[in-house]
Structure 1
Amino acid sequence: MSVTQTDYGRLDAARWMAALAVVLLHCAAFPLTSTTDYGSTAWQWANVYDAATRWCVPVFVMISGALLLDPSKREGFRRFYQRRAIRILPAIVFWSALFLLWRAYIYRLEDASVDALDWLRLALSGEPYYHLWYLYMLVGLYLFTPCLRLLYSGSSVRQRLFMILVVFALATLQGLHREISGSGYGFFLVWFLPYIGYFMAGRMMFEGQLRLPLPGLVFVLAAALTAAGASALTTSESLNVYFYDAFSLTVPWMSLAVFQLILNARRLPRLPAVIPLTFGIYLVHPVFLDIGKQTGWYAPQASTVWQVPLTALIVFGLSMATVWVLRQVPGFTRLT
């Protein structure tokens, strides 16, 4: 199957849609965990929004796979690493430092005490703020991308499908084991390993080699089961997040279905002015969400059905405007 400019335009649409979904997910997570009683109607609406947007990061990874695993690329290892290092390493250093300072400010507002050892753990954890884990995961993924590209180009369609199936099966089993045993995610440089399945699937779906039957139905069922599973496992005292995991029993199906729906869509707004800002929107948006929490502007309780999506649109717009301003400053284009 030949790839056209229209296909690349759909990847652009996927980019801004995934960025908006990330913001919506994080807006829903606040009432889900902090302001509403577990199991209440308001909590269930937040649960639905959170569950239905769990495809956002997997779709980002599939976009990267669709672009970086192109067998026609003749980029050498050194050139690939130079280009990716210039893109990702300054962003990791800058945003990690900034959000550690921001975290210190939030702790001060909340009168929380954190010792030096805790700060060191945060700095070395690969997750100095809750959304930055994605950057650290990308480091591992980029390290292996040239090898994965060679593997992809030298394999048949059946072999690629087999590899994706095996990776997803192992990742799902790992997620179940983590839920049962209570173990963590380990060193951040290995976080990318289960995402290889999404990475390769992204290119295969882009080329039309991987298709789900009835992707719209698959998405609806997977989203519904994700929300129902989270609700069923959550008690009045404790939130269970297993079904929200990128490798739960439901989220991979949801993610693949959404990506296919976007690739199959005849008309989706590309929003070319927004595309260069999406990376920065992902990085900046927690600041505005935190401001909303701290000032009381965003404290949804009984009306999450409309407060969550409205807040997501506001935070997305403020983040987009902020990133546009930052990119006017020399040097900030590489950081956003």
Structure 2
Amino acid sequence: MKLKEIQLPSKQASKQASKQASKQASKQASISYLRIFATMCVVVLHTCSTLGENSKVFSLNHRQLIFFNTSYQIMYWCVPVFLMITGGVLLKKEKCIYTIEWITKYARRTVLALIIFGIPYAGLKIIMQDGSSRSLLDKTVFAVLTDTGFGHLWYLYVLTSIYLIMPILKNFTDKATEEEIKFFLAMLFLLDFCIPQISKVLGINIAIKSQLLYPIFYVLLGQWLLQHKNSFDVKVLVSIACLCIVFIGTVNIVTCNSQSWTQYDSPLIAIFSGTIFLLFVKREWKHTVWLWSVDRLCFGVYLIHPLVIQFSYRFLKITPVNFKLFPIITVVFALVFITLSFVASWIMRQIKFLQKYVL
């Protein structure tokens, strides 16, 4: 009897520990699946935006312009979601990161990426535009410092800045009450998103605005949503996501100034991004053996995919616009770009220095 009485709590403890471990694995898997999906959608975004934002260069007709603009603006949730993942993962209370690590580990990674990838990209852009290599090094270094190289690298500048102020954000989220965090998020949403949107619609410059940049809102929102994900209903979230997609398509059809509604600092994209984030983190995902390996390729895909797209569009002169069934062909192009980018990222990770310090 005594032996059974001793073993029973042990079995219960074992089941509880196993259940806890399963929940933790599911949480990590949800973030990995979200990161992989968002990375793929970033490639789709640039597959379409490269054409939509350069309509004269690629000779887009009105129907093509609406399609490509709508397609890439529907993907605008990707970058905010990356920022929310950063906040959700790094601002957890149980996460302990020393202040110096934000510089020596996190910011160093993004700065090295800017140097290793930003300088060659800027040099390639200068050569293509000027046709000359004189003072190339000076021009490329200046381009990296001023963010006038490849446009997609702007995210690295934002992420570097976020890492440098992370100790302050971490201290705030660790010590602030629930009410204080909710109030701060509400005020950031009002000042960073709602008032600028009203200013655009009315055509006036409302002077009351936030002195903080909107990426801070997304970082803090990711941490808060991850903690309160069970408070949201999946059916409602799906409905909101569908409405956002319909709205983006509608404004592209009825107005020539659709981007005023679909920028990263618009209320629409903030709501859309938060919805996509919740739809992933609420679901119970299974952690497969390949998941983490693919997850680790995502940053490399972000860095290399514009080169693949530009090579096809600018050098080979092959774009979806060349085909009658361009909507279907665009999907094919995107899948090819995604595949090539993941393969290229895997190859780059075979270089030990890049794997350890950059990717």
The answer to whether the superposition gives a TM-score over 0.5 is: yes
For residues 252-299 of structure 1, the C-alpha deviation after alignment (integer angstroms, 9 at most, x for no partner) is: 111000000111223478633211110010010000100111212224
The 1:269/1:58 distance shift into structure 2, 3 A limit, reads farther
Q: What does residue range 119-134 of structure 1 map to in structure 2 within 5 Å?
A: 122-134=143-155
Instruction: Please point out which of 208, 221, 225 is paired with 2:243.
Output: 221
Q: CA deviation at 1:43?
A: 2.9
Q: Distance in 1 between matches of 2:327 and 2:231?
A: 33
Q: Distance in 1 between matches of 2:212 and 2:336?
A: 31
Q: CA deviation at 1:77?
A: 1.0
Q: CA deviation at 1:115?
A: 10
Q: What does residue range 1-336 of structure 1 map to in structure 2 within 5 Å?
A: 4-33=24-53, 34=55, 35=58, 37=60, 39-40=62-63, 42-107=64-129, 122-172=143-193, 173-174=195-196, 177=199, 180=203, 193-208=213-228, 211-213=231-233, 214-234=236-256, 240-267=258-285, 271-294=291-314, 295-300=316-321, 302-333=324-355, 334-336=357-359
Aligned AA (1:147): I
Moved more, 83-92 or 310-319: 83-92
The 1:274/1:287 distance shift into structure 2, 3 A limit, reads same
State the SS of the aligned residue for 2:321.
coil
Q: Distance in 1 between matches of 2:136 and 2:116?
A: 22
Aligned AA (2:78): C
State the SS of the aligned residue for 2:36.
helix
Q: Distance in 1 between matches of 2:332 and 2:286?
A: 21
Q: CA deviation at 1:211?
A: 4.7
The 1:59/1:134 distance shift into structure 2, 3 A limit, reads same
Q: CA deviation at 1:128?
A: 2.1
Q: Distance in 1 between matches of 2:165 and 2:338?
A: 32
Moved more, 297-306 or 171-180: 171-180
Aligned AA (2:149): P
For residues 240-261 of structure 1, the C-alpha deviation after alignment (integer angstroms, 9 at most, x for no partner) is: 5222311223111110000001
Q: Distance in 2 between matches of 1:242 and 1:62?
A: 22
> Would you say the 8 A contact 1:140–1:192 is kept in 2?
no
**Identity over aligned residues, as a percent?**
20
> Would you say the 8 A contact 2:43–2:305 is kept in 1?
yes
Q: CA deviation at 1:121?
A: 6.1
> Would you say the 8 A contact 2:44–2:72 is kept in 1?
yes
Q: Distance in 1 between matches of 2:200 and 2:120?
A: 31
Q: Distance in 1 between matches of 2:106 and 2:237?
A: 33
State the SS of the aligned residue for 2:297.
helix
Structure 1 vs Structure 2 CA RMSD:
3.0
Q: Distance in 1 between matches of 2:307 and 2:85?
A: 26
For residues 144-195 of structure 1, the C-alpha deviation after alignment (integer angstroms, 9 at most, x for no partner) is: 111111111112222212211211221112355478479xxxxxxx998211
The 1:197/1:224 distance shift into structure 2, 3 A limit, reads same
Q: Which runs of 5+ in 2 are unaligned?
A: 1-19
Q: Distance in 2 between matches of 1:176 and 1:303?
A: 38
> Would you say the 8 A contact 1:127–1:133 is kept in 2?
no
> Would you say the 8 A contact 1:99–1:128 is kept in 2?
yes
Taking structure 2 as the reference length, what is the TM-score of the superposition?
0.80
Aligned AA (2:171): L
Higher relative contact order structure (alpha carbons within 8 Å, sequence separation ≥ 6): 1
The 1:222/1:118 distance shift into structure 2, 3 A limit, reads farther
Question: Which structure's CA Rg is the greater one?
Answer: 2
**How many residues are matched?**
321
Q: Which runs of 5+ in 1 are unaligned?
A: 183-189
> Would you say the 8 A contact 2:29–2:285 is kept in 1?
no
Aligned AA (2:85): I
Q: CA deviation at 1:124?
A: 2.9
Q: Distance in 2 between matches of 1:62 and 1:86?
A: 20
Q: Distance in 2 between matches of 1:60 and 1:106?
A: 31
Q: Distance in 1 between matches of 2:306 and 2:217?
A: 28
